[in-house]
Structure 1
Amino acid sequence: MARVDVRPGRRACDRRAVPLLALGLAVGLAVAAVPGWASAAPNATRVVSAATEPAEDPGGDPPTTDPTDPGPEPTEAPSTTAPPPETTPPAPTTEPAPTTTAPEQPVPTTAAPTTGAPPPAPSAPPVRPSAPAVSPPAPPAGVSVTTDDITLTAAYWNAPSTVTTLRVTITNTGATPARIRLAYTLPAGLADAGTPGCAPVGGGAHRCGEWSSTPGARFSTLLRVRVDGDAWKRMPLSGSVRVTATAPGVPGPVGDDEGFAVLFPPGPPVPGIRLDAEAVSFDISGGSSGLDVRLGNTGRVDAEGRIEVVLPAGVTVPAPPSGCTTVDPTRTRCALGTLAAGRSAQLRLPVSATPEAQRQAPLAGAVLGQLDPRSGQPRRVQMSFRITAAAALATPVASPPAPTGSQGVLAAGAPTLDDDGAGGSVRRTAILLIVVSTLLVVFALTLATTSLRRRMTTPVAGPSTAPTE
């Protein structure tokens, strides 16, 4: 019987190639089939859901009694007046895009050629109009309040008390009609002078009746305030105003508040001394413009000059300049040396404030100036200055809270797998697995190809006849 002679080495090679080829193909198919390995950094859907609860109101000096607490309810709302004109930021001064025209063809001095048309003049690229700014929709309920300051004139020093007004401007920033209530707190030395529709509730706090307002309504009211003749001894003085709005179908009220400063003129009037202090303002980054104070000796003799700066809570002088010492966190005392008659000295102090104090702005500070002549009585005068902050104006009114992340949802700003950290290690592991599987597939294919090539090139032995017995 004829048999085909197959070499044992070739059969062993074929047996090794088939399992390796099958293993490489299986690993490659597994890598391609698993989406987590094929894409090591999947894109998570960022979901920002509309909030159903209003955010907490910005910080400030709230009234000692909550306006919603039971108490004497005013029977009517205060009278309203026309609001002051709104101060809108100036429109951006964007220069118009330059108009490009085709360059003029020079007048030929010789005859034009008979063949070939002149190339077309280059046309200006079309200017794509910018998309109009889309303002976010107004919340169902919203309210904002702005206040003026109580600014006293020099006539204050000649009266036992002064009656003035505090203007409060309210805006319904919601999309639905709302009922708005007003409450305000006056500092020590100030009292309500009989504002119609408002009633005291204790501790300097007052509560007023409510208005019915339409969406976008803006109006002002004037609060009558009496300033005692000795209130200047307590400077700096500041107060606060708070408004709340309730709308049908909106759970809970929304509110806004703002402070106001009580600004006294330099005094009590004393001959031979002059004091001046500039306002302090904090920009949106929290940086301060500093406090500039000027003390003048308008007398006829030389005197030793000294100033003392008193700041509200949360506002400090972090690094007193030379000649100044910190008496306590809100009080700084500076020696100016000898001031000749008719001369003045100017001092600049750096001022810092906590974020909470900036949100309560505007606030008031006080400066006390003193001259000690070599002969005669000391001359002393003081005044208040205003402290403002851009953070108070940038505080959103009833802003919705940021969405919280849950299973399967990443809040806006949450790190994805593309960021450094755990996502990077997962991606590196996936890439390593892909490279290893690719190498296995290439090795298996190379081994199979080599085996087939050997079988094709090696001559096959002819049939042999077994010897017969």
Structure 2
Amino acid sequence: MARVDVRPGRRAGDRRTVPLLAISLAVGLTVAAVPGWAAAAPTAARVATAATDPVGEPGAEPSTADPTETGPVPSEAPPTTSPPPASTPPAGTSEPTPTTTAPEGPAPTTAAPTLSAPPTAPPVPPVRPSAPGPGSPAAPPAAVRVTTGDITLTAAYWNAPSTVTTLRVTVTNTGAAPARIRLAYTLPAGLTDAGTRGCAHVGDGAHRCGEWTSAPGARFSTLLRVRVAGDAWRQMPLSGSVQVTATAPGAEPARDDEGFAVLFPPGPPVPGIRLEAGEVAFDISGGASRLDVRLGNTGRVDADGRVEVVLPAGVTVPAPPAGCTAAGPTRTRCDLGTVPAGRAAHLRLPVSATPEAQRTAPLAGAVRGKLDPRSGRARQVQMSFRITAAAALATPVASPPAPTGSQGVLAADSPALRAGGGGSVRQTAIILIAVSTLLVVLALTLATTSLRRRLDAPVPEPTTAPAPTD
């Protein structure tokens, strides 16, 4: 029988080459996966950090209380009413106007929402929520918008020691998830709360109210009862502000605020003089606007006219016209000359406002008119005017959550790479990729060399075994 004679040395070399090739390929493939692990390290660290935050028990409602605020927190929210049409701005009223119509959209509630399992599903024990994984979808962001009316007083204000009126506040949940919405407001000097249910005074004119549970897209209004003192007109112009905070599970709180103006009628009533002031409106460009004032002499004697304009903080007259001088940071005085009996003088002032002042609009300004006749007593009257800005209506819309990369992938514009420590992560990933590539190339080279040696080796001649002898 013929058999092939294979040398022991070559057989041992082949046995060593195969394990070496397998080990090289395994090391190369293992190291090739390391860059993904290194790139995913910042994400895992962020998730671990988020998991250490306090987590409430299942079914507990998230707290929307501001840690910087002090004072009692009301346990109930103010009553809601139907909101005004979206196309027309709301206006203040001099008398409370109760309404029983249902609010637009799902009605907010003051109780926590309850969740129930499907009847066919088996009972599941409560599990403490954990941090979402890298591939889990992000929670929809919370978003909220608030709009206010104005406190507009009628001529009856001059005959009463105080006047109770209402301020309409309209809230819209502009987010994509149910949210807990809390209301707070600040009243200027001379105004106090007249007993708004669900709200409490916390000092310095600030008030806090209870929370609503609002569905996505819900829009509703509430009426705040306000008392205006009989001498509050001496401190005009007067403005306040309203703030809302929305909190949704798993999302950052969203806030919005808007101001409101307290508008007094011309007065105190004095015969022989009439004063009118227009509204100041800033367009979306934020450029300068104008204020129109008319001072009328309704008496029988000619008189010298003077007008003084008082503006809120952040609103100024950049270039007073002829006859006008700056009497202070927020005051401008203008001499109108002689105003004949039965005639009126017209004044137009350029007005500008800072971006901060425009974002807090509506605001209120005041104008005082005075007539000093050649004979007789001087007559003086004052009133408020409204300042609005389109920038106050430009509330940023909450953007949808950006898609997250798969595990082991770090986007080039991610915060981890833009931060100070991103450079070391990128360098480490590049080095590991280069090393893994070299190892793979080395393994392929060894495999190719081994195969080539086996193919180029001479085939041994067959040998014939000697025949057995008897």
TM-score range, shorter chain: 0.5 to 0.7
Deviation string, structure 1 residues 260-319 (Cα, Å, up to 9, x no partner): 000000000000000000000001111233000000000010110000000000000000
In structure 1, distance between residues paired with 2:288 and 2:316: 11
| 1:336 corresponds to | 336
In the alignment, the residues of structure 1 paired with residue 345 and residue 74 of structure 2 have an alpha-carbon distance, to the nearest angstrom, of 52
Query: Normalising by structure 1, what TM-score?
Result: 0.60
> Matched residues in 2 for 1:205 and 1:162: separation?
20
SS at match of 2:307: strand
Contact 2:148 2:260 in 1 (8 A): yes
Superposed CA offset, 1:390-421 (max 9, x none): 1111131556999xxx994499xxxxxxxxxx
Q: Which residue number in structure 1 is paired with residue 222 of structure 2?
A: 221
Match of 1:391 in 2: 391
1:154 alignment counterpart: 155
Extract unaligned runs of 5+ from structure 1: 1-51, 54-64, 90-136, 412-469
Q: How far apart in 1 are the matches of 2:401 and 2:152?
A: 37
1:206-355 equivalences in 2 (<5 Å): 206-250=207-251, 252-355=252-355
* Deviation of 1:174 (Å): 1.0
User: How far did 1:85 drift?
Assistant: 1.4
Correspondence list, 1:110-149, <5 A: 139-149=140-150
RCO higher in structure (CA 8 A, sep ≥6): 1
Question: Which amino acid in 1 is paired with 2:297?
Answer: N
Name 2:372's counterpart in structure 1.
Answer: 372
Distance 2:158 2:273 in 1: 16
* Pair 191,378 (structure 1): closer, same or farther in 2 beyond 3 Å: same
Instruction: Structure 2 unaligned segments of length 5 or more: list them.
Output: 1-46, 51-64, 90-137, 403-409, 416-470
- Percent identity of the aligned residues? 80
The Cα RMSD (Å) is 2.7
Secondary structure (helix, strand or coil) at the match of 1:233 reads helix
- One-letter code of the match for 1:202? G
Q: Name the amino acid aligned to 1:149.
A: D
Q: Please report how far the alpha carbon of residue 87 of structure 1 lies from its aligned counterpart in structure 2 after TM superposition.
A: 1.5
Take 1:259 and 1:75, find their aligned partners in 2: how far apart are those partners? 25
Does the C-alpha gap of structure 1 residues 246 and 297 become closer, same or farther in structure 2, counting only changes over 3 Å?
A: same
Shift of the 76–368 alpha-carbon distance from structure 1 to 2, 3 Å rule, reads same
SS for the counterpart of 1:232 is: helix
Residue 197 of structure 1 corresponds to 198
Kept in 2, the 8 Å contact 1:67–1:183? The answer is no
- Secondary structure at the aligned position of 2:392 is classed as helix
CA distance in 2, matches of 1:401, 1:367: 48
DSSP-derived class of the 1:350 partner: strand
Q: Within 1, Cα distance between the matches of 2:414 and 2:175?
A: 29
The match for 1:77 is 77
2:242 is matched by which residue type in structure 1? V
Distance 1:397 1:243, change over 3 A: farther
1:327/1:264 Cα in 2 relative to 1: closer, same or farther (>3 Å)? Answer: same
The offset of 1:249, in angstroms, is: 1.5
Q: Which residue of 1 aligns with 2:177?
A: 176
Alignment-mate amino acid for residue 338 of structure 2: T
Partner SS state of residue 356, structure 1: helix
Q: Secondary structure at the match of 2:300?
A: coil
Normalized against structure 2, the TM-score is what?
A: 0.60
Q: What residue identity is the alignment partner of 1:383?
A: M
Secondary structure in 2 matching 1:290: strand
- Judged with a 3 Å threshold, the aligned counterparts in structure 2 of structure 1 residues 349 and 241 are, in CA distance, closer, same or farther, namely same
Gap change, CA 1:213 and 1:380, over 3 Å in 2: same
How far residue 148 of structure 1 moved from its aligned partner, in angstroms, is 0.3
Runs of 4+ in 1 over 4 A off after TM superposition: 65-68, 397-402
Contact 1:245 1:255 survives alignment (8 Å): yes
Task: Give the direction of change, closer, same or farther, for the CA distance of 1:344–1:401 in structure 2 (3 Å limit).
Answer: farther
Query: Which has the larger Rg?
Result: 1
Letter in 2 for 1:192: D
What residue number does 2:113 align with?
none
Q: Encode CA deviations 1:54-75: one digit per residue, 9 max, x unaligned.
A: xxxxxxxxxxx96862421112
Specify the code of the residue in structure 1 equivalent to 2:305.
Answer: G
CA spacing shift, 1:377–1:139, aligned 2, 3 Å: farther
